[in-house]
């Protein structure tokens, strides 16, 4: 385990979940949590990390049906090289639980087609449009900034689902 400032690394530990002792000892001090290269499938224990801003879960066993808990402070999520195959299911979980997400990286998952994993350019563009339309706070998807043109195109293709819901919520408050 390596704790540097507000960053905790639990990478390369063959973990299936966050050990209770780390939750109890670090939940109120960790802003960046790196759990790369583990066997993570269950993430509910992350609810205790109340100031978490960055979560790195690259090279785990995260699936489309992972159950996240709400983390309103989270703005960066990396889930590269996992087992995410259903984009609709996964993005719905992300959208509901991370309302302030600005950076999402899903590279090398079946649900995020690209040249590197056998996807076509059209599939990659459709993937981007879908994610952008459902996560309006997103600024960077994978390794590329979200442009105003992409945001406009995503609304035309997928409608105003996410932005309509957030507008209704603001009006009713």
Q: How is residue 23 written in tokens? A: 């939750």
Percentage of residues of the chain with pLDDT beyond 90: 72
pTM: 0.88
Q: What secondary structure does DSSP assign to 90-142, as a single string? A: HHHHHHHH-TT--EEE--SSTTS--GGGT--HHHHHHHHHHHHHH-TT--EET
Model pLDDT, residue 169:
35
pLDDT at 126 over 80: yes
pLDDT at 56 over 60: yes
Model pLDDT, residue 3:
77
Between CA 80 and CA 87 the distance in angstroms is 13
Encode 52-85: b = buried (16+ Cβ within 10 Å), e = exposed: bbbbbbbbbebbbebebeebeebbbbbbbbbbbe
Span 73-107, pLDDT tens digits? 999 999 999 999 999 999 999 999 999 999 999 99
Model pLDDT, residue 167:
37
């Amino acid at each position: 385990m390596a704790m540097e400032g507000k960053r905790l690394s639990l990478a390369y530990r063959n973990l299936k979940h966050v050990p209770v002792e780390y939750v109890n000892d670090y939940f109120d001090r960790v802003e960046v949590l790196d759990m790369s290269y583990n066997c993570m499938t269950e993430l509910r224990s992350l609810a205790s990390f109340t100031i978490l801003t960055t979560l790195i879960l690259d090279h785990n066993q995260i699936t489309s049906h992972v159950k996240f808990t709400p983390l309103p402070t989270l703005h960066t999520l990396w889930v590269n090289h996992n087992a995410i195959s259903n984009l609709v299911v996964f993005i719905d979980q992300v959208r509901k639980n991370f309302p302030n997400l600005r950076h999402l990286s899903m590279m090398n998952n079946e649900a995020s087609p690209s040249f590197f994993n056998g996807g076509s350019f059209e599939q990659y563009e459709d993937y981007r449009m879908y994610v952008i339309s459902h996560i309006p706070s997103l600024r960077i998807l994978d390794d590329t900034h979200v442009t105003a043109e992409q945001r406009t195109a995503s609304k035309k293709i997928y409608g105003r689902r996410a932005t309509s819901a957030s507008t209704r919520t603001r009006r009713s408050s």
